[in-house]
Amino acid sequence: MKMDKQEFIDEIERAIEMVDQARYIVDTAMIGRAMESNYEAYGKYGFDQLLGTGNPYDYSLQTLIDKYKDE
């Protein structure tokens, strides 16, 4: 069954919270590790893209919500 508009928005907002929590866990775990600089340079990009804290031209989860609201 297809979700209605508000259900979709609620689910994506829930995903944003989960991704943000995951990023915090990984960020914290990487502090002082040998691979920390590599993670900061490359690995963290996926989190930043999803959360909209990276390249402003990348689509984020919030972009999905915004575009869906415009439909």
Task: Spell out the domain ranges in the chain.
Answer: 5-70
Position 57 scores a pLDDT of 85
C-alpha radius of gyration, the chain, whole number: 15
Is pLDDT of 3 > 90?
no
Position 58 scores a pLDDT of 87
Q: Which of 12, 25, 67, 23 is nearest to 46 (CA)?
A: 23
Q: Which of 41, 42, 43 is nearest to 26 (CA)?
A: 43
Residue 56: which pLDDT band, with cuts at 50, 70 and 90? confident
Position 45 scores a pLDDT of 93
Is pLDDT of 28 > 90?
yes
Q: Which residues contact 27 (CB under 8 A, 6 or more apart)?
A: 44
Residue 12: which pLDDT band, with cuts at 50, 70 and 90? very high
